[in-house]
Amino acid sequence: MVSAQTVLGFATALFGIGLYGLLQRRSLVAMLISLELMLAAVSINIIALTSHTGTDPVMGQVVVLILIGVAAAEAAVALSLFVAIHRSAHDIDVERLSEQQG
Amino acid sequence: MSHRLLTLLLCPAAGLALILLIPGRFVRAIRMAAALSALAACAVTGLIVKGFDAHAAGWQMVERGSWFPEMGISYHMGIDGISLPLLVLTSIVFLTGVLVMWELQLRVKEFFAFMTLLVTGVFGVFVSLDLFFFLFYYEVAVLPMYLLIAIWGSTRKEYGAMKLTLYLLAGTALVVPAILALYVTVTPHSFDLVEMARAGFNPSVQRIVFPFLFLGFGVLAGLWPFHTWSPVGHVAAPTAVSMLHAGVLMKLGAYGILRVGMMLLPEGAAFWAPACAALAAINIVYGAFVALSQTDLKFVIGYSSVSHMGIVLLGLATLSVDGINGAVMQMFSHGIMTALFFAAVGYIYDRYHTRDIGRLGGLSRAMPVASAFFIIAALTGAGIPGLASFWAELLVFLGTLRIWPILAAVVIGALIITMAYSIRVIVLAFFGEAHEHHDAPDIPLFPMLPRAILAAVLLILGFYPRLILDVIDPATRAFLAAMARPFASL
Amino acid sequence: MTPVLASVLAQAIPLGAGALILLALRRHPASAAMLAIVAVAVSCGLTLFLVSAASAPGTAIVAQRPWLPLEAGPGLIFGVLIDPLSSIMSLVVTSVTLLVMIYSLGYMAGDKGYARYFGLLSLFAAAMLGLVLASNLLQLLVFWELVGLASFLLIGFWFERPGPAAAARKAFIMTRVGDVGFLLGVLLLIRALGNVSILDLVSQAGWHGSLSPRFLTMVSALLLMGAAGKSAQGPLFTWLPDAMEGPTPVSALLHSATMVAAGVYLVARLHGFFAAAPSVMHFLLWMSLITAVAAATMAMVAEDIKRVLAYSSISQLAYMFMALAAGSVGAGFFHLITHAGFKALLFLAAGIFIHHAHSNSMREIARHGRPRGRAASFGLIAGAAALAGVIPFSGYFSKEAVLASLGPAAGSAALILAYGGAFLTAYYAARMVFLTLTHRPIASPSHGPTNETTLAEKAARTMMAIPVLLLGALTLVLGWLGASLALRFSPGVAVRGALELGAGPLLALGLAAAGILLAWLEYGRAGAARVGFVERVPALRDFFANNWYLDRLYAATFVRAAQALSRLARWNDQRVLDGAGDTVAAGTVRGGRTLSRIQNGQVQMYLAIIVTVLVAFAFWLTRAELLL
């Protein structure tokens, strides 16, 4: 069995990559992909922790399955919003879309 | 319990409700509602004066009830001989202010709504014996000012309104922590002024907290060097707002120093008295000097207010019977006097659209009666006997002379400057050749009425000051006796 | 009727009349004038009653009631004090006011402010009566200020003209300088004594020995400041010559019985108190000696008849102070009364000339010729004779009393100044008469009698002539009252009898004759050059004519300093205080602008900050744990 440390380290790395992408990319689609990476990192964490410490490892897997479903729905909603934004503004760059002047 | 004080508070509050209910296009009805609430306030004040026993010690017409016992907040109202004259003052200025603004055309409903709100707050401060409500009403009185000046004002109104609001809020920012500190210190925790005074505070606490209260409330009283909001604000404000503001609102600051600062913190007040007196003396002398070279009538009045409020603060700082008697009387007479000042200038400004002394001139020929009102106010300010301020200033000077003779000599010497700027304005604006305004009509009967009321009050008190001093004097003595009680709860 | 009621009514009736006129009768000049005259006449009758009620020396009728509560003691008690001094003074006030009012019926006829004039005159009389009859020093101060206010309004009566407006302003502010001292002195006394009853102060009851000499000197000096301001003495005299801008009858009143007499009255009233400060009295003596001579020099070169009279007032008031300083209330007050008579006479007579010539300049008046009727000329001559101290006019007797009161104790320098002043007085009085009356028409006399024949003008002339003739007769009578007056005020102090000729009176008479002779040589005799010996020296003439340059000195020092301070304070207010406030405000706004840059709506930015803070926080937590 893989040690918890390894899995948690991997999940943290994944989360960090996702966070970096979320902060760095200006395209809405890229930001969404990064978000999905972070979500995946969270899912891995849940599975890893429940399998090591939890009384019933299946609970973790169930939660993650639900998470994947929710993520898919969320991605669908987000993408459709992006499409709508692109239709009206012909752009999905968040900086150019910004209307607030600091 | 007859709830006279509550009724008094309800007069402007009910006026406010009534005004809010009337649709804005019924201008006449709104005016009538405002006048009605002012008349009702005057009538109730009359009842209060009638029911007040000047010789009885302690608080009178006390109303109290439970409000929020967990926080130590209670519904507690009551008056003494110090707050009573201020209630009378507020009623008079309220009524005359409404009458002066009778011709207002712009947003009448909103104007009178804010005005009644402001007066509600002022009445509330003068009758509250609970610090929570005291502060609440204090803010109610201060905040409508911004809108009243920014919307209905003139010269640099946004600047004036903002400056005034910021200074006053800065004052509040000093007052609130001080009051919270006192609340936390006293056991059991309470906002009740009477109970707090009875419990007393540790002298070292008093010495730390008192300057906060003095400076915080002092801002509203035009204390040097935080006075600059007041002339600018007065100049920007419309007539009735200037009247209420210089006439009543600045008194809230002095009243706060007296009622909260000195009553709760007698040791602190005694400790800081020389410093307070020095600041007040600067107020008097400095204000007079600045007034000497102003060219706008309202600026002259504004700086004369700074100077005269210095006399109030000086009287308070003496912590003596004469000084406080004089200070309270000065609050009253200065309130009436500035109200008359602004009412007179307001009339002139409405006709000529200038307040520049150089461009006026010879007004006494064109409108003798309207000018006479201004001249009466100016002479009151110059401390001519036969007008109310003379006695008040006399008492303050006497109280000061008993303690700080040199300071008193300086301040009395400043009377020359006071006289110089008053006479300068009279001679430059009202004497001399009439300019282009020969055809302007003199003041008609109806606008004359409020101004005549104010002038009459000044003259009556000027000839017989005991009318008001007989009420103030016993209260001052009781107040000082309570202050002299040593702190015993340690 | 009790004397107390009479004294209260005597003040209240003119006050009520004045208030009524100003409030309700401004559009009804005739009834206003009538009301004012009736009120003052009634008041005059009442004061006559007071004089008879308080005729015995040492009488003092007092009625008082508490007025102002004070910290300690019974507080201030105000009321009336009727004694020989106050009753006679009030009679002087009301009678002169009455005559001036009658005269004004003619003099002011047709003026726009006719009703206002009579209203103010009534108030003036009421305020002066209040001052005279006050039983408390603070009460006296109250009316003192009101007298000042009334004279401000009357000097500035023609307020549209720049001259009167400026003169009124100057008078009010300069007398205020003295009044500030007065107020401070009274407050010091209140602090020391609780109440400042005039009788207690004078009798030294209750404080004799308990107040230190230093304190008494200081208070006396401060009170004296007030008197000097009001009576235009010493360095504070310069307002009085300018006060000539008021209507001439007002000047008559102001110079004789009211305003300027108040200062003398104060010192006479409080003489018992001032006696406790001999050094102040000594100072007063020298100040009045110098003032008497200085004012006389100014009168010698003045071209304006009213200015001559104004300087003569200053000079004569100084003589009164001289007597008071030397210790003789009787002599000082006697001179006050005779001066009230002849100075009112001089002004009223001069007023007729001015009315006729429409000019104040004596040479101009002479050019226009005499007005119809002899009253004015007789009045002027009688008044000038009294002023010069010619026997048997009233001024002779009272000035004699003043000079006699100085006595040898004053020292020879003082006597030289006092007698020298008398010589100068005679000189300028005679100069005025010669300059005004020696008729040297330059313009053709054709416009003389033809154009003043209407009935109203005749009536006006009569109205103006009656008081002049009455006062002229008085100058012949008043002098003989000296002995009885002296008895009433200074029991025990012997004042020389009226016709007792000694070295002093002979000297004074001789000097007066010399002065008149000199004036006649220079101005009066046929073919005279009409240029005085002083006027031949331009530097000296300018020095005298410009009030010894005191006005310029004040303008360059005090006025300048006040203006500079005012500008400094104003600059400080706008730049420093407001500047600081505005800088704080602007700084806040700028700070807000700067900080608002990170508030740019970019979610990524916010997220980055959140993450940074969280990470930092996590590090901080672990560090804290490690430290534990």
Taking any CB pair shorter than 8 Å as contact, residues of chain A touching chain C are: 19, 22-23, 26, 31, 94-95, 98-102
Largest CA distance in chain A: 53
- From chain B residues 272-331, the ones with a CB under 8 A of any chain C CB are 286, 289-290, 292-294, 320-322, 325
**Which of the other chains make 3 or more beta carbon contacts under 8 angstroms with chain A?**
C
Nearest 5°: phi and psi at C61? -95, 125
Report the residue from A22, A23, A102 with minimal CB separation from C596.
A102
Nearest 5°: phi and psi at B41? -60, -40
Q: Which residues of B touch C570 (CB under 8 A)?
A: 289-290, 293-294
- Smallest CA–CA separation between C111 and chain B, in Å? 13
List Cβ neighbours of B66 (8 Å cut-off, separation of 6 or more): B74, B75
Q: Is B390 touching C (CB cutoff 8 A)?
A: yes
* Closest Cβ–Cβ partner in A22, A95, A102 for C607: A22
Rounded mean pLDDT of B296-311? 91
Residue of C nearest to A21 (CA): C604
SS3 C361: strand
Mean pLDDT over the full length of chain C: 85
Convert the pLDDT of each residue in C533-583 to its tens digit.
Answer: 877 788 888 888 888 888 888 888 888 888 889 899 888 888 888 888 888
Which of A19, A101, A102 lies at the smallest CB-CB distance from C611?
A: A19
pLDDT at C580: 86
In terms of Cα–Cα distance, which of B487, B20, B461 is closest to B265?
Answer: B487
The confidence score (pLDDT) of residue B490 equals 39
pLDDT at position B272 over 90: yes
Q: Is B36 on the interface with C (CB under 8 A)?
A: no
Characterize the bridge pairing of strands C76-82 and B73-79: unpaired
Pick from A74-88, C44-58, C152-166 the range whose average pLDDT is largest.
A74-88
The residue among B189 and B253 whose pLDDT is bigger is B253
C220 φψ region: left (φ > 0), alpha (ψ -120 to 50), beta (else): alpha
At C494 the pLDDT is 46
Q: With an 8 Å Cβ cutoff, is B455 touching chain C?
A: no
Helix H, strand E, coil C: the string for B364-426 is: HHHCHHHHHHHHHHHHHHCCCCCCCHHHHHHHHHHHHHHHCHHHHHHHHHCHHHHHHHHHHHH
Nearest CB to C187: which of B362, B401, B424?
B401
C597 contact residues in A (CB cutoff 8 A):
102
Instruction: Express each pLDDT in B200-236 by its tens digit.
Output: 888 888 899 999 999 999 999 989 888 888 888 888 8
What's the pLDDT band for C486 if we cut at 50, 70, 90? low
The answer to whether B217 and B256 have CB atoms below 8 angstroms apart is: yes
Model pLDDT, residue B160: 86
Q: Does C147 touch chain B (CB under 8 A)?
A: no
Contact B163 C581 (CB under 8 A): yes
Say if residue B225 is preceded by a cis peptide, omega within 30 of 0: yes
Q: Quick check: B391 and C68 CB within 8 A?
A: yes
Chains touching C, CB cut-off 8 Å, 3+ pairs? A, B
Distance CA B242, CA B377 (A): 15
Chain C nearest CA to A19, separation (Å): 9
Query: What does the pLDDT read at residue B489?
Result: 44
CB contact under 8 A, B416 and C162: no
Indicate the pTM of the whole model.
Answer: 0.86
Contact C604 A19 (CB under 8 A): no
Q: What's the confidence (pLDDT) of residue C498?
A: 43
Quick check: A23 and C598 CB within 8 A?
A: no
Min Cα–Cα distance to chain C from B58, Å: 19
What pLDDT is stored for residue C451 in this prediction?
53
CB of B397 within 8 Å of a chain C CB? The answer is yes
C-alpha C199/C-alpha C386 separation (Å) is 34
Give B332: exposed, middle or buried? Use CB within 10 Å, 0-12, 13-18, 19+: buried
In this predicted structure, the answer to whether residue B261 has a pLDDT above a threshold of 70 is yes
Query: For tokens 């005559």, what's the residue?
Result: C99
Among candidates B221, B215, B15, which has minimal Cα distance to B113? B15
DSSP 8-state assignment for residue C161:
S
Q: Percent of chain B beyond pLDDT 70?
A: 97
The residue of chain B with its CA nearest to that of C163 is: B432
Instruction: List, for residues C295-349, the tens digit of each pLDDT value.
Output: 998 888 888 888 899 999 999 999 999 988 888 888 888 888 889 989 999 999 9
- Mean pLDDT along residues B125-145: 90
Mean pLDDT of the region C169-176? 89
Q: How confident is the model at residue C443 (pLDDT cuts 50, 70, 90)?
A: low
Chains B and C touch (3+ CB pairs under 8 A): yes
Residue C604 has pLDDT above 70, yes or no: yes
Complex ipTM: 0.90
List pLDDT tens digits, range C289-304.
999 998 998 888 888 8
**Cross-chain Cβ contact A94/C603 below 8 Å:** yes
Confidence of residue A53 (pLDDT cuts 50, 70, 90): confident
Confidence at residue C15, expressed as pLDDT on a 0 to 100 scale: 93
- The nearest CA of chain C is from the CA of A56 a distance in Å of 30
Q: What is the DSSP string of C571-585?
A: HIIIIIIHHHHHHHH
Token pair recorded at residue B79: 């008056």
Between CA B126 and CA B134 the distance in angstroms is 8
> Hey, of C600, C606, C610, C613, which one would you mutate to test binding to chain A, going by the most A CBs within 10 A of its CB?
C600
pLDDT of B315: 93
Residue B112 has pLDDT above 80, yes or no: yes
User: Which of C111, C146, C566, C572 to mutate to probe the B interface, most B CBs <10 Å?
Assistant: C566
Tokens of residue B421, six digits: 């700027």
Contacts of A97 in chain C (CB under 8 A): none
% of chain C beyond a pLDDT of 90:
22
Strand partners, C76: C68
Percent pLDDT > 90 in chain A is: 46
Closest approach of A95 to chain C, Cα-based (Å) = 7
DSSP-H helix ranges across C481-559:
482-489, 503-519, 538-545, 550-554
Share of chain B above pLDDT 90, in %: 38
Contact yes or no for C18/C123 (Cβ under 8 A): yes
Please report, to the nearest 10 degrees, the dihedral formed by the alpha carbons of residues C534, C539, C543, C549 taken in order.
Answer: 180
The three-class DSSP label of residue C212 is coil
Tell if the CB–CB gap between C562 and B417 is shorter than 8 Å. yes
Tell me whether residues C172 and B432 touch, CB distance under 8 A.
Answer: no
Q: Report the chain C residue with the minimal C-alpha distance to residue A16.
A: C611
- CB contact (8 A) between residue C608 and residue A23: yes
CA distance linking residue C508 with residue C396, whole number of Å: 9
| C573 contacts on B by Cβ (under 8 Å) | 228, 290
| Of C409 and B178, the one with more pLDDT | B178
pLDDT greater than 90 at residue B256: yes
Better-predicted residue by pLDDT, C401 or A37:
A37
Instruction: Please name the chains neighbouring B, where neighbouring means 3+ C-beta pairs under 8 angstroms.
Output: C
Give residue-wise pLDDT tens across range B15-71: 999 989 988 888 888 888 999 999 999 999 999 999 888 888 788 888 888 888 888
Closest partner residue to C566 (CB to CB) among B292, B325, B465 is: B292
Instruction: Grade residue C622 by pLDDT with cuts at 50, 70 and 90.
Output: confident
Res B487: pLDDT: 58
Mean pLDDT, residues A48-74 taken together: 85
DSSP-based three-state secondary structure for C46: helix
Q: Is the pLDDT of residue B438 over 60?
A: no
Are the Cβ atoms of C169 and B401 closer than 8 angstroms?
A: no
Instruction: Give the DSSP per-residue string, C248-303.
Output: HHHHHHHHHTSHHHHHHHHHHHTHHHHTT-HHHHHHHHHHHHHHHHHHHHHHHH--
pLDDT on residue C489: 66
pLDDT averaged over every residue in chain B? 88
**How many Cβ pairs closer than 8 A exist between chain A and C?**
27
* B65 sits in which H/E element: strand B60-68
Looking at the predicted structure, is the pLDDT value of residue B393 above 50?
Answer: yes
Burial readout C259-298 (b: 16 or more C-beta within 10 A, e: otherwise): bbbbbbbbbbbbbbbbbbbeebbebbbbbbbebbbbbbbb
Instruction: Find the range with the poorest average confidence among C264-268, C299-303, C526-530.
Output: C526-530
In tens, the pLDDT along C181-222 reads 999 999 998 888 888 888 888 887 777 778 888 899 999 999
Q: In a mutagenesis test of the C interface, which of A34, A81, A97, A100 is the best target, namely the one with the most C β-carbons within 10 Å?
A: A100
Chains B and A touch (3+ CB pairs under 8 A): no
**If you ran DSSP here, which 8-state letter would residue C370 be given?**
P
Asked if pLDDT for residue B332 goes beyond 90, the answer is yes
The highest-confidence range among B74-83, B481-490, C37-46, by mean pLDDT, is C37-46
Task: Examine the pLDDT at B95 and tell me if it is beyond 70.
Answer: yes
What's the length of chain C?
628
Tokens representing B55 are 């010789």
Q: Is B432 on the interface with C (CB under 8 A)?
A: yes
Q: How far is C556 from chain A (nearest CA, A)?
A: 59
C604 with A102: Cβ contact below 8 A: no
